[in-house]
Amino acid sequence: MPSSPLLSKRQQIIQAATQLFLKHNFNAVSMDKIAQAAPVSKATLYKHFDSKHSLLVAVVDNLCQTVLHTIDTLPTDADAATVDMHLKQTALSFMNLIYSQEGLALYRLIIAECHVSPELGVLIYDVGPKKSLMQLENYLQSLNTLASFNITDSAFAANAFFGLLKGEVHFQCLLNIKAPPSAIEKQAYIDQIIPLYMQGFLHDAL
């Protein structure tokens, strides 16, 4: 089992890489620059990450951890009202990620890089969107054990959850034609979407 110092070094590398990738673009950043910014030796850098691509995957994984943790800790022994509350918490965590400056900038960077390295897209999808979808799908499946829920297609319902939260606004923000929603705007949107989502996909008994 790795020691705390090793884990700390790994986090230092990820944080340095995140800042450099978003400031200078992926192709303009070398492994030497990342090691210098961390700061760690090149031997330490390559001990944790064998390439810039593997480091970019780790950056995405690290950025998604808050959302993944929120979904992973959702309780399954709850009534409809409590599920509504927890889904709103998950929605806010997801929207805070995708509308953050880091989230938007990283999204643009990934699209550009995956155009020339399709195999990287698969790796990034697996640690980010796919993992979130699978966790939410598992959670929705577990709700079927409760009498108040009847989710006919948990995979579709999980996909719809994230799709509804992104909507057209996220695309506009990616194109820099609209500012990211404020905290008040995000909460107002969530308060509208989640009740509709529960009625349409979870078939709750409210």
Chain segment 6-19, per-residue pLDDT in tens: 558 899 999 999 99
DSSP 145-185: TSTT---S-HHHHHHHHHHHHHHHHHHHHHTTSSPPPPHHH
Pick 56 or 81 by higher pLDDT: 56
32: domain CATH number is 1.10.10.60
Peptide bond into 39 cis (omega under 30): yes
Same domain as 94, residue 12 = no
* Mean pLDDT along residues 21-27: 87
CATH number (domain holding residue 84): 1.10.357.10
The pLDDT of residue 3: 42
> What 3-state DSSP class applies to 206?
coil
Q: Identify whether residues 43 and 100 lie together within a single domain.
A: no
Element (H, E) at 83: helix 80-98
pLDDT digits (tens, 9 = 90+) for 92-123: 999 999 999 999 999 999 888 888 888 888 98
Range 163-201 burial, b when 16+ CB lie within 10 A, else e: ebbeeebbeebbeeeeebbeeeebeebbeebbeebbeeb
Mean pLDDT of the chain, nearest integer: 88
Dig out the tokens for 10 from the structure. Answer: 């790994």
The pLDDT value recorded for residue 170 is 95
Query: How far is Cα 158 from Cα 138, in angstroms, rounded to an integer?
Result: 9
What pLDDT, on the 0 to 100 scale, is given for residue 190? 97
12 and 59 fall within a common domain: no
Same domain, 36 and 117: no
* C-alpha–C-alpha distance, residues 136 and 28, integer Å: 36
What pLDDT digit, counting tens, does each position of 116-149 carry? 888 888 989 999 899 999 999 999 988 887 766 8
Structural domains counted in the chain:
2
In the predicted model, what is the mean pLDDT of residues 28-55? Answer: 93
